[in-house]
Amino acid sequence: ITPAPMTIVFLGITIGTIMTMSSSNWLMAWVGLELNMLAILPIISKPKTTRASEATTKYFLTQAIASAMMLLSSTINVWQTGSWSILELKNKFSTTIMALSLMMKMGAAPIHFWLPEVLQGTTLQTALLITTWQKIAPVTLMYMISNNIQPTILVSAGILSMIVGGLGGINQTQLRKMMAYSSINNLGWTITIMAFSPNMALMNIFTYIIMTTPIFLMMTNMSTKTLQNLSTTWTTSMTMTLSIALLMLSTSGLPPFTGFMPKMLILNELISQKLTTLATLAI
């Protein structure tokens, strides 16, 4: 892609996310998400390979289905309440459909199937974009409607995401798939606490974004795509390999790394809400 179209594409991604984050109307939020989705498709399909084309198709279809569910949810809510306002999402059926559509947009379990495949089929830079920037708009919308969503739905999806993310990453040799399952796991923590403390959920997702960005940038710099590649880079770039290892430990939430802080606060909040069983499951 030449510089001029690339500028338009990145402008579309940025404006789409900002439009969704700043809107108080479901239609404008939907337009922002659509603009964002259409702008990222050329970036995913940039490598002229069959895997990239497959990844683009999978991304487009899942995001289009999620957008359709979002429109269905907001339309049903308008019939019931007469308002397009995001904060007026009162209908229980509407909130459930909306929560599922936003989870699909983010790539949280049980609708996570597309994320590892899309990340594996594209470049490391695009994978970084999908796992960080593309999560901001759906998380913001979920934050805005968190008071209206039934906690059972969020907690169930959150716990499932933690389990899928934790188990899915075990048998992987591809770093991009490992990072995809890491993303699903972290989204699980974010969604679980969203029901009880939305501000803490935002802190968790932004901490994850800050930790994931340097991992992808260093992997791009060293051109490492598999664990085997990563083990051989020790001889050429010891500092960077060590940094990636420490950042990965931090992302997984091991003390005393930064990634442990939001998880500790989330567990503390769950226990203070008398949800000890849930906190034990999360551990």
The tokens of 177 are what?
């798939």
**Per-residue pLDDT at 1 exceeds 60:** no
**If you ran DSSP here, which 8-state letter would residue 25 be given?**
B
Task: Provide the residue ranges of all domains of the chain, joining segments of one domain with +.
Answer: 3-282
Q: Distance between CA atoms of 144 and 102, rounded to whole angstroms? A: 12
Contact 192, 155 (CB under 8 A): yes
Q: What is the pTM of this model?
A: 0.93
Q: Which of 172, 167, 39, 64 is nearest to 114 (CA)?
A: 64
pLDDT at site 283 = 62
Amino acid letter, 132? T
**Per-residue pLDDT at 80 exceeds 70:** yes
Residues 199-213 pLDDT 10s = 999 999 999 999 999
Q: For the stretch 185-210, what's the b/e string if a residue is b when 16 or more beta carbons lie within 10 angstroms of its beta carbon?
A: bbbbbbbbbbbbbbebbbbbbbbbbe
DSSP letters, 241-275, are HHHHHHHHHHHTT-TTSTTHHHHHHHHHHHHHTT-
Beta bridge partners of 226: 174
Q: Distance between CA atoms of 261 and 272, rounded to whole angstroms? A: 17
pLDDT at site 282 = 66
**If you ran DSSP here, which 8-state letter would residue 170 be given?**
T
Residues 133-142 pLDDT 10s = 999 999 999 9
Tally of residues, the chain? 283
Cα dist. 79→68, 84, 88 in Å? 17, 10, 12
Q: How confident is the model at residue 227 (pLDDT cuts 50, 70, 90)?
A: confident
Residues 238-274 pLDDT 10s = 899 899 999 999 998 888 899 999 999 999 998 888 7
What secondary structure, in 3-state letters, does 31-74 show?
Answer: HHHHHHHHHHHHHHCCCCCHHHHHHHHHHHHHHHHHHHHHHHHH
Residues 82-130 pLDDT 10s = 899 999 998 899 999 999 999 999 999 899 999 999 999 999 999 999 9
Q: What's the mean pLDDT when you consider all of the chain?
A: 92
**If you ran DSSP here, which 8-state letter would residue 171 be given?**
T
